[in-house]
Structure 1
Amino acid sequence: MTQHNETDLVIVGAGMVGLTLAALLAGSGLRIRVLESREIDPANAREWEQSQRENGYDPRVSALTVASQQVLTVAGVWSQITEMRAMPYRAMDVWDGEGTGKIRFDCAELHEPCLGHIVENRVTQTALLQQILSQDNCELSVGVQLTELSEPDSDGNRMLTLNNGEVLKARCVVAADGALSNTRKMAGIGMWEWDYGHHAIVTTVTTAQPNRATCWQRFTEDGPLAFLPLPDAHLSSIVWSTSPDHAKTLMELDDETFCQALERAFEGRLGAVTHTDQRFVFPLRQRHAKQYVKAGFAAIGDAAHTIHPLAGQGVNLGLMDAAALAETILDGLAEGMNWHSEYHLRRFQRSRQSENLQMAATMEGFKRLFNTRNPLPRLLRNTGMSLMNSLSPVKNHIVQQAMGLSGSLPRLARRPVRD
């Protein structure tokens, strides 16, 4: 008779979102197993991150909101993140490169120390890996892949077969293995998806003028270009979303010519672009799972949805998913319910699906609005941006929602009320 290793919760994917869920459930008493297909060495993660830091910045960064900071604080890792490297940004300048519209958000208007933090993805992941290793109820398995996932049995358990021959029995499986999630596909959950018609180029660049702790975004005729400040005042992480043909042309340029093209596209706001690190490019697609849950199954983060990076909300939405699912599981345990049933897990789906769809629709609307060359929409968007910039209450309400200081948030993402 085949021996099965039993556990309560299996999280497939040791990225930022999957590890955050595990960290939030560390005190739940559940037996948690995290599976990661990459060959990473979690025991030496801090040393590896430090060596990488000495060689420069990770081109993959995230603009973490106040709400995400709160989730990571509850997960026990925010202090480690700031000890390694994080950049608080105090302002955001957005303007229409094809007109006169502009808007500026400043933390001083909100009486906040910053609008958020720019954090390298590897820094966040390293802090979470260390946290997981310190928890008695969490086990991390690397270099393994899920090859089969059964339907729930009569007791609600699912069987998982790994590529090393191991068979697991789990009450619940969480797909946190990215946009092309095989786990979600094995669970029989389909996706709505479409191509944005954009590719994103990411890298780290050096500018003659300091970044002034400001996030900058210019809407060009081909797509948005963002400069995100890094702790070195003359360094910024860029995300340049543009047409596939233009991206191909940019990637083929030598470094000096690319820097010149970037400086022109950015209107020289930070002076000359004097250096670029290695460039990376990837296509942008919007995806949304037709459902997030089944009996003994849930999808979170990119496995459930992806959106355009123009507002920097992708990782933040994933962290809100992790917080909402953790709350749903913890509430089920506290109430003595069958916490892994589809009936109970639908609480998580109800709390997040509409929020994520709304953000996806908003990003699609922005993309379409700034992608048109029709003079009437261009006039309206320029007028609207300038008008909003002059209406501080409206502008501040919008930025407070973007920061995660208001709106519908999981409990674990809400900042404690100040005295």
Structure 2
Amino acid sequence: MVSGMDVSHDRVDLVIVGGGMVGVALACALAPTGLSIRILESRDGSPQSLIDALPELSAEGFDPRVSALTCASQQFLTHVGAWSRMQAARICPYTDMSVWDGRGRGAIQFSAAELHEPCLGHIVENRVTLAALYAAMQEIDTIRFQPGAKIKSVSPPDTQGIRTLRLAGGESLSTALLVGADGAHSRIRAMTGMGATEWDYGHHAIVTTIETELPHRSTCWQRFTEDGPLALLPLADPSERKLSIVWSTSPSHARELMALDENAFCAELGHTFEYRLGQVLSCDTRHLHPLRQRHAQRYVQAGLALVGDAAHTIHPLAGQGVNLGLLDAAALAEVLIDARDRGEAPGDERVLRRYQRMRRADNLQTAAAMEGFRRLFDDLPAPIRLLRSSGMSLVNRLAPVKQHLMLMAMGLRGEVPRLARRP
């Protein structure tokens, strides 16, 4: 080997940077194209290590990171071969949702029975979803997963539209299409000059698993307080007393809550939740996450696309973040499959703009709706609070409006990518 030269140089059709749920789901969805795919993941550890560890991890407790997966996400995960594996591990369908104004009398009750559906969605631990996707991925010969990959640079596209990535170990990798699926702090977005608009929500989220005195009854609960929303999400526990919480509140209040011991935190949580499930008996280790909204100014360039949190992040109050990312993956896979059938190059910017048209406006609309909803529940003057509560109660009585909202939230209405549509 000559000193100073690359350790190796490979050429693949598609490189996905980020081995999380969205990146791996995209790779699995593209299996029919026959494209050679490399997934670069910065963290160490093989996919098999998570698959092997999952039973023991599940026996020890619940992953504090969970997602409220919609019917559209369920359909896409079924399409890529992950859903049956998730069912065999641990998922929790929820049939009802109870939302109320903590500073008024307004409340909305959603029920799957009103739609003649078996459930509104599923609460699933992120590691369960990821392990299932890893297992599906390992059955596809055209995908190679590379852990511990640190990217040093990304070149602009050459005259043939090829980009070259250089890794910390000296390896270089050329590809016709680079996909950034590397999260909110995406290095791919930064390295390629894909600007993003972002701002601080003024909220921090406390996430943990709790046990309550009364069973959750397969219901998601959300109370809007003057400081932010508090959500309790049911988990697949035989006693139905385990729930995951996402408590979004001001940074100062979040720090105060994090400083409490377990008993004091449980008491404060029970009080804030108005004891809807009785006393909070215990909680696991608490995790604190600052909340920021980000949106890439564009999702694509020649030979480059952003998906998931690399393209957008939103407030977790409606649990739509992962679902939007999976819809990005479904849309991009649809575009690339159709491009292959037409004989078009996957990195052609005209091809990638179809994906951007499918997803950017929808993601912006969802982000704007979440921001408007969040501001609606700020500490507002009493007359506006009264109108807010009255409006919630009115919607609760208008069955067609409520059913439309439920169907949209479930991904059963609106422009849904083909791979995520129910047959």
Question: TM-score by structure 1 length?
Answer: 0.98
How far apart are residue 371 of structure 1 and its match? Answer: 0.8
Match of 2:188 among 179, 183, 190: 183
Q: Which moved more, 1:23-32 or 1:244-253?
A: 23-32
**Match of 1:394?**
401
1:88 is aligned with what amino acid? P
The answer on 1:100 being equivalent to 2:105 is: yes
Aligned residues of 2:14 and 2:176 also touching (Cα < 8 A): yes
**Match of 1:152?**
157
- Whole-Å Cα distance in 2 between the matches of residues 85 and 165 of structure 1? 41
**Match of 1:408?**
415
Match of 2:364 among 357, 360, 363: 357
- The count of residues paired between Structure 1 and Structure 2 equals 416
Q: What secondary structure sits across from 1:125 in the alignment? A: helix
The superposition leaves residues 370-410 of structure 1 with CA deviations (integer Å, 9 ceiling, x where unpaired) of 01321232112111100000011110011100001111110
1:324 is aligned with what amino acid? A
1:391 is aligned with what amino acid? L
**Match of 2:258?**
251
Structure 2 residue ranges without an equivalent (≥5) = none
How far apart are residue 131 of structure 1 and its match? Answer: 1.3
Q: What secondary structure sits across from 2:28 in the alignment? A: helix
- Whole-Å Cα distance in 2 between the matches of residues 43 and 87 of structure 1? 24
Q: What secondary structure sits across from 1:371 in the alignment? A: coil
Superposition RMSD in Å: 0.9
1:58 is aligned with what amino acid? D
The answer on 1:76 being equivalent to 2:81 is: yes
- Whole-Å Cα distance in 2 between the matches of residues 32 and 46 of structure 1? 21
How far apart are residue 45 of structure 1 and its match? Answer: 2.2
**Match of 1:339?**
346
Q: Which moved more, 1:368-377 or 1:91-100?
A: 368-377
The answer on 1:303 being equivalent to 2:310 is: yes
Match of 1:90 among 95, 99, 102: 95
The answer on 1:348 being equivalent to 2:355 is: yes
- Whole-Å Cα distance in 1 between the matches of residues 145 and 258 of structure 2? 37
Alignment of 1:252-291 (within 5 A): 252-291=259-298
Match of 2:46 among 41, 48, 63: 41
Q: What secondary structure sits across from 1:27 in the alignment? A: helix
Match of 1:213 among 211, 218, 221: 218
- Whole-Å Cα distance in 2 between the matches of residues 275 and 167 of structure 1? 50
How far apart are residue 47 of structure 1 and its match? Answer: 1.7
Alignment of 1:165-244 (within 5 A): 165-232=170-237, 233-244=240-251
**Match of 2:33?**
28
Question: TM-score by structure 2 length?
Answer: 0.97
Aligned residues of 2:227 and 2:379 also touching (Cα < 8 A): no
How far apart are residue 337 of structure 1 and its match? Answer: 1.2
Aligned residues of 1:45 and 1:130 also touching (Cα < 8 A): no
Structure 1 residue ranges without an equivalent (≥5) = none
How far apart are residue 4 of structure 1 and its match? Answer: 2.4
The answer on 1:67 being equivalent to 2:72 is: yes
Aligned residues of 2:176 and 2:346 also touching (Cα < 8 A): no
How far apart are residue 339 of structure 1 and its match? Answer: 2.4
The superposition leaves residues 216-258 of structure 1 with CA deviations (integer Å, 9 ceiling, x where unpaired) of 0000110000000011101000000000000000000000000
Match of 2:125 among 116, 120, 124: 120
Aligned residues of 2:205 and 2:288 also touching (Cα < 8 A): yes
Aligned residues of 2:18 and 2:182 also touching (Cα < 8 A): yes
**Match of 1:312?**
319
Aligned residues of 1:329 and 1:340 also touching (Cα < 8 A): no
1:239 is aligned with what amino acid? V
- Whole-Å Cα distance in 1 between the matches of residues 296 and 266 of structure 2? 38
How far apart are residue 145 of structure 1 and its match? Answer: 1.3
Match of 2:166 among 161, 167, 175: 161
**Match of 2:13?**
8
- Whole-Å Cα distance in 2 between the matches of residues 354 and 11 of structure 1? 23
1:332 is aligned with what amino acid? A
2:149 is aligned with what amino acid? V
- Whole-Å Cα distance in 2 between the matches of residues 104 and 90 of structure 1? 11
Q: What secondary structure sits across from 2:33 in the alignment? A: coil
How far apart are residue 146 of structure 1 and its match? Answer: 1.3
Match of 1:322 among 326, 329, 332: 329
